[in-house]
A = this chain, B = another copy of it.
């Protein structure tokens, strides 16, 4: 049985609060309604569209600058950054990122997004990946938007910074990785 409009709108609000980068497409699928319905719900609830939500996150909270590499060398678009703490980037899967046969995103692009975010979050002029342990938890398809979230967990006994990255499409985890980062400590 479908949810009532009121129920749906309440849940929709919570969902967007928890995952501000969820697309209308994902929401439509999640609530089993049309994209148009989601748009109308958002308008009634005064929730701005995704682009605006991203911008607002970026300008409200993102007062820091990437240090370890020029921002344009980050794979994906950085939308949130607190150096040595956390970072978020979004990456849209385009035709050049997928296997031609089955339109599944190639692993190294998801890795590149996560790995470059792990570099970007480091508050140092030099950051290099020493080790990494990763998992591809579900296939990502052409056209999907991948949101990667990096969290700095701390340092290990060798002085390397441990960064955990989780990548999501909508609410679903598609990739997770732990990165051991070497840094110059200058």
A residues touching B (Cβ–Cβ < 8 Å)?
69-70, 73, 75, 99-102, 104, 106-108, 111-112, 115-116, 126, 128-136, 139
Contacts of A73 in B (CB 8 A): 99-100, 106
* CB contact under 8 A between A115 and B107, given known A131-B134, A131-B135, A133-B133: yes
Chain multiplicity (copies): 2
Q: Is the interface of A mostly helix, strand, loop or mixed?
A: mixed
Taken together as a complex, chains A and B put the C-alpha atoms of A108 and B73 apart, in Å, by 12
* CB contact under 8 A between A131 and B126, given known A73-B99, A99-B73, A108-B75: no
Taken together as a complex, chains A and B put the C-alpha atoms of A28 and B99 apart, in Å, by 40
Q: A74 → chain B, closest Cβ, in Å?
A: 11
Taken together as a complex, chains A and B put the C-alpha atoms of A46 and B128 apart, in Å, by 42
CB within 8 A of A139: which of B69, B108, B128, B131? B128
Flag if B129 contacts A70 (CB, 8 Å). Answer: no
Which residue on B lies nearest to A135, using beta carbons?
B131
Taken together as a complex, chains A and B put the C-alpha atoms of A108 and B104 apart, in Å, by 18
Q: A105 → chain B, closest Cβ, in Å?
A: 10
Q: A101 → chain B, closest Cβ, in Å?
A: 7
Q: 13 interchain pairs (CB within 8 A)?
A: A69-B101, A73-B99, A106-B116, A108-B108, A108-B111, A108-B115, A108-B116, A111-B111, A111-B115, A129-B136, A130-B135, A132-B135, A134-B134
